[in-house]
Amino acid sequence: MAPSTEEKQFLDKILEEASQLDSPVMFILHKMQNEYRSIKEDHAEYIARSMGKPLSEIYSAATFYDEFKTSPTGKYVVKVCRGIVCHSRNSIQVLNAVRARLDIDDGETTKDGLFTLEEASCIGQCDGGPAMIINGTVFRDLDPDLAVSIIDRIIGSGGA
Amino acid sequence: MSMTGIEEMRKISEQRWSDLKGAEKVAYIGAASCGHAAGIVKVIRAIDEFNEKNGLGIEKVEVGCLGMCSFEPMVYFQKNGKDPVVYGNLDGERIPTLLDGIFNKDHYPIEGLLGVLGEGYDDLPSIYDHPMMRPQRRIILENVGRIDPTNLEHYLANDGFKGLEKALKMDPQEVIDIVKGSELRGRGGAGFPTGMKWQFCRNAKGEKKYLICNADEGDPGAFMDRSVLEGDPFRLIEGMIIGAYAMGTQLGYIYVRKEYPLAIFRLHIAIRECREKGILGKDILGSEFDFDIEIMEGAGAFVCGEETALIASIMGKRGMPQPRPPFPAQKGLWGYPTNINNVKTLSTMPSIMRKGADWYSSIGTKGTRGTAVFALTGKLKNSGLVEIPMGTTLREIIFDIGGGMDEGKSFKAVQTGGPSGGCLPADALDYIVDFESLKDAGTIMGSGGMIVMDEDTCVVDVAHYFISFTQEESCGKCSPCRIGTKQMLDLLTKIKAGDGTRKELDELASLAWTIQNGSLCALGQTAPNPILTTLRYFMDEFREHVFEKKCRARVCKALIQYEINELKCIGCGACERRCPVKAISEKPVKVTTIKGSKNNIRVIDPGTCIRCGLCLETCPPSANAISKVSPIDRKDEKKQGGDGK
Ligand SMILES: Cc1cc2nc3c(=O)[nH]c(=O)nc-3n(C[C@H](O)[C@H](O)[C@H](O)COP(=O)(O)O)c2cc1C
Ligand code: FES
């Protein structure tokens, strides 16, 4: 498979932006992950070819980092902190509540493609645990009900 | 912008700042991650409503976080140009009475009042006399919580960029000599003398050089760097420019965790602002020195905090550590001389430049000058972010600043240095905090995480937690770390499950030695520390797990049971409904409730129970019928009871 014209346009745009940078690869991978929720093989190939790098180089980075996925995540990635401080404040119950609400386990994505659930090690909000982070928004001082209501709010808004 | 340009801008900034400080009605709003989450939005809305309804004309200014996290949300109210008064634990409902009191009746309600941000007046105490503040010495945190972090004028009016101005008038070598003279040691964990490191990089030959700020903070329990970035991003930028000038670097990177969105956002604003004003870019402040900064977001690999792994990551490679030498100062990013420092190390520079080497080296202990920022968390009353002079004891930090243990529990242990550090018991509380002293105690000072644990914490569980963290985060490059941490984890899992024997205990100690001595980078080399310290200080508890099959903190699931007290149970059935595995059922023993109905009491089948603890949480406090017990104690009690009769 090759990237569609639209996809090529996007990839060309980030290649162009990245060409201004001293160290472009991570920037490109982040942009791809954000846009397509995964690093697709044909995209990686296209990027590698355009940059004159072996595909293995792009792919070895793409597969090393937790943030980059080879299969797409949900639109929202819910990372529930399982760090030691949150743990001591019963983060397991927050995690269980979210698991139950979404009916998925950690590392899985809901069938409608809206949510991916992940366990995170400390996300640096320990003074306000249990904490979770959803697409760059931090939620603190959670309890199971509050966590579920946050998820409900996203679902209620039609995932917009 | 030239030097004179910045002088003019400073004058304007100082004028604006003093206008703000003299203003009639201002509400300063705590707006770091903590404030944001702690319901500050509702507080702001309430202020707006009251303000509008009463036509008070209160000006609102967002500031960072004072570090008194357990008192969030926080707002400081300023009236008639007097130092603002700080209120904590606010909620929207209290705002109208509070504002009415302060602004209409000239009365400062006592509830939630923490003190004056400045010297006290009219019977109002200074916040700097609050137990959480008094022992602190704020250098890196000087501005944090006092200024709007994204407002360059606020930074300039508070001595911002004065250190840089001074540095740019000196020879770069003079700048390095000052850093050497300050005896500052890196705050990223290893404590390497910063001046020496800068000298290596300055002396190294290369067409170009790099300066990297390590903001990949990932230690469990650590949020110091996040708070510094969120609270005073200009300070880091100033520190980086000073370093770049001293070492002759053209480009800097801030490698920051992706999980810190607010920090990243504010850094972007601050960098853009500095570029616009000629503080970053070409010919900085008319000095003919060029330097710029790029932000790079991490991608969720803890090991990338290690400097060689971090460099590999910036280059778009797998974040795996490289053997040193060559050191980054010789051959770093893209093969060029590179210097890496922690956020706090670089953020100390503006003060050192401004106030001099002697000033800095007069603070702290002989081996560790200056201050350190700690993230104080866990089971204590006041958690938060504190900056203390080196030489303060653990006891002062935990009991004076932290206010001691929460809910009347007793202290069990404090973990410093994250997964590379260790757990210290009550006996060790009189150790002072600096790089050397904590090493003697078997842990490390690390970068500033301090997790306080009470009697309800099981140290075997803590050791298990940390080793599962390092095992997960091991990059897999070298086998002692990759395989060794897995084996340690298995051993601890066994002990926690009640399947441990003397053999497991002995193997833990010998494996620790192998991993310490055989691993490639500090991740592996320090991974056994939490286990070695818990073995050293809490051997009793390990023995109990192994020989008595008992977990005294009642944490290890295999060694506990939940029980319903038949005399207390009111038969409401809440626990039965909540139990996810149907382990709770009725027992034909009737109780009469207050309302007069007759209920059957409940029992838990230990064979089905998964020990999730939901029943305990669900049981109405008025009944309080469910408890966690050690089955082993039960047996002993029964035996004793029987014998006694
Ligand atoms: C596994 C591992 C993780 C690390 N994480 C960090 C980190 O998050 N931040 C940091 O400043 N240093 C971290 N370090 C230390 C760095 O390798 C390096 O020593 C430090 O950034 C140097 O800065 P300093 O001289 O200012 O202390 C880590 C080291 C290891 C081995
Ligand atoms: S332990 Fe959860 S944020 Fe640190």
Beta carbons within 8 Å of A66's beta carbon, 6+ residues apart:
B299, B300, B301
Residue type, B436: E
B41 interfaces chain A, CB cutoff of 8 Å: no
Q: Do B292 and B341 fall within a single domain?
A: yes
What domain range is B403 assigned to?
371-454
Clarify whether residues B192 and B313 are in a common domain. Answer: yes
* Domain shared by B473 and B576, yes or no: no
Probe residue for ligand 1, chosen from B217, B259, B307 as the CB with the greatest number of ligand atoms within 8 Å:
B307
- One domain for residues B183 and B233: yes
**Two structure tokens written together for A19:** 């060409």
Instruction: Say if strands B449-454 and B371-378 run parallel, antiparallel, or are unpaired.
Output: parallel
Q: What is the pLDDT of residue B644?
A: 36
Instruction: Compute the average pLDDT of residues A99-114.
Output: 95
Any ligand 2 atom below 6 A from CB of A139? no
CATH number, residue B439: 3.10.20.600
Question: Residue B459: is its pLDDT beyond 60?
Answer: yes
Question: What's residue B645's pLDDT?
Answer: 33
Contact check, Cβ <8 Å, B296/A120: no
- Average pLDDT score, chain B: 93
pLDDT at B525: 94
Number of domains in chain B: 5
What is the ipTM, given to two decimal places?
0.95
Distance CA(A110)–CA(A117), nearest Å, equals 9
If asked whether residues B206 and B347 sit together in one domain, one would say yes
Distance from C-alpha of B191 to C-alpha of B402, rounded to nearest angstrom: 25
Pairing of strands B338-342, B210-215: parallel
B519-554 pLDDT, tens digit per residue, is 998 999 999 999 999 999 999 999 999 999 999 999
Q: What is the pLDDT of residue B87?
A: 96
What's the confidence (pLDDT) of residue B636? Answer: 62
Question: Is residue B153 a part of any domain in this protein?
Answer: no
Name the CA dihedral angle for A143, A145, A147, A153, rounded to a multiple of 10 degrees: -150
Does residue A113 sit at the B interface (CB-CB below 8 Å)?
A: no
Per-residue pLDDT tens digits for B415-441: 999 999 999 999 999 999 999 999 999
Find the residue in A nearest to B451 (Cα). A85
Predicted local confidence at residue B38, as pLDDT: 59
Tokens 């499950």 belong to B497
Interface of B with A in 309-338 (CB under 8 A): 313-320, 333-334
Burial class (CB in 10 A: 0-12, 13-18, 19+), B261: middle
Residues 392-421 of B with CB under 8 A from A: 415
Closest CA to B527 of B491, B492, B484, B493: B484
| DSSP secondary structure code for residue B17 in this structure | H
Residues B178 and B301 in one domain: yes
Of B220, B314, B385, the CB nearest to A121: B220
pLDDT band at residue B634, thresholds of 50, 70 and 90?
A: low
Average pLDDT over residues A48-52: 96
Residue B626 has pLDDT above 90, yes or no: yes
**Min distance A111 CA to chain B CA atoms (Å):** 24
For position B642, what pLDDT does the model report? 41
Both B543 and B617 in one domain: the answer is no
Nearest to A126 among B299, B377, B453 (CB): B377
Q: Which of A125, A127, A132 to mutate to test the pocket of ligand 2 (most atoms within 8 A of CB)?
A: A125
Report whether pLDDT(B39) > 60. yes
Return the percentage of chain A with pLDDT > 70, whole number.
99
User: Quick one: pLDDT at residue B261?
Assistant: 93
Rounded average pLDDT over B157-183: 98
From the CA of B507, how many Å to the nearest CA of chain A? Answer: 25
Domain boundary among B81, B109, B129: B129
Burial B92-122 (b: 16+ CB within 10 A, else e): bebbeebbeebbeeeebeeebbbbbbbeeee
Indicate which atom in ligand 2 lies nearest the CA of residue A84.
1
Cα angle at B180 between B174 and B185, to 5 degrees?
145
User: How far off is chain A from B513, nearest CA to CA, in Å?
Assistant: 25
Please indicate, yes or no, if residue B380 is contained in any of the structural domains: yes
Residue B188 Cβ inside 6 Å of ligand 1? The answer reads yes
What average pLDDT does range A34-44 have in this prediction? 95
Domain with B503 in it: what CATH number?
A: 1.20.1440.230
Whether the CB of A48 is below 8 Å from some CB of chain B: the reply is: no
Q: Is the CB of A15 under 6 A from ligand 2?
A: no
CB contact under 8 A, B317 and A60: yes
Nearest to B559 by CA among B625, B456, B632: B632
pLDDT at B36 over 70: no
pLDDT tens for each residue of B307-334 = 999 999 999 999 999 988 999 999 999 9
A145 CA to middle of ligand 2, Å?
19
Tell which A residues from 9 to 28 touch B, by Cβ distance under 8 Å: 21-27
Q: Is B72 on the interface with A (CB under 8 A)?
A: yes
Same-domain check for residues B463 and B447: no
Q: What is the mean pLDDT of residues B2-14?
A: 89
Q: Answer whether B216 contacts ligand 1 (Cβ < 6 A).
A: yes
Contact present, A138 and A145 (Cβ < 8 Å): no
In this structure, the answer to whether residues B188 and B243 fall within a common structural domain is yes
User: Mean pLDDT, to the nearest integer, of B167-179?
Assistant: 98
Helix, strand or coil, per DSSP, at residue A41: helix
Residue B8 lies in a domain: no
Q: What mean pLDDT value characterizes chain A? A: 93
| Interchain contact A57–B (C-beta under 8 A) | yes
List, for residues B564-573, the tens digit of each pLDDT value: 999 999 999 9
Mean pLDDT of B591-603: 84
Confirm if B282 and B240 have CB atoms less than 8 A apart: no
**Do the domain assignments include residue B498?**
yes
Instruction: Identify whether the C-beta of residue A63 lies closer than 8 Å to the C-beta of residue A44.
Output: no
Instruction: Tell me if chain A has a CB within 8 Å of the CB of B143.
Output: no
Provide the pLDDT for residue B639: 56
The Cα–Cα gap between B575 and B564 comes to: 10
| B401 domain-assigned | yes
Distance CA B90, CA A99 (A): 32
Q: Note which residues in 222-281 of chain B have CB less than 8 A from chain A.
A: 222-223, 226, 251, 253, 257-262
Residues B54 and B79 in one domain: yes
Report the residue from A60, A65, A84 with minimal CB separation from B221.
A84
The verdict on whether omega for the bond into residue B193 sits within 30 degrees of 0, i.e. cis, is no
Confidence of residue A88 (pLDDT cuts 50, 70, 90): confident
Tell me: do B230 and B204 sit in the same domain: yes
What pTM did the predictor assign? 0.93
- Work out the average pLDDT over A80-103: 92
Instruction: Give the rounded percent of residues in chain B with a pLDDT score beyond 70.
Output: 97
Q: Which residue in B222, B316, B453 is closest to A25 by CB distance? A: B316
User: Is B147 inside any structural domain?
Assistant: no
In B38-134, at which residue ranges do the beta strands (DSSP E only) sit? 59-63, 75-79, 85-87, 113-116
| Residue B152 three-state SS | helix
Task: For residues B297 and B434, state if they share a domain.
Answer: no
With contact defined as beta carbons under 8 Å apart, do A2 and A43 qualify?
no
Residue B138 included in any domain: no
Residue B2 lies in a domain: no
Lowest mean pLDDT among B10-19, B73-82, B309-318, B591-600: B591-600
**Residue the block writes with tokens 């020879």:** B171
Domain termination site, one of B434, B454, B474: B454
Which amino acid, one-letter code, is at B523? L
Closest chain A CA to residue B477:
A64
Q: Which of B333, B361, B389 is the last residue of a domain?
A: B361
List b or e across A119-143, with b for residues whose CB sees 16 or more CB atoms inside 10 angstroms. Answer: bbbbbbbbbbbbbbbbeeebbbbbe
CA distance B511 to B488: 7
For chains A and B, CB pairs below 8 A equal 139
SS3 letters for B413-439? Answer: EEEECHHHCEEEEHHHCCCECCHHHHH
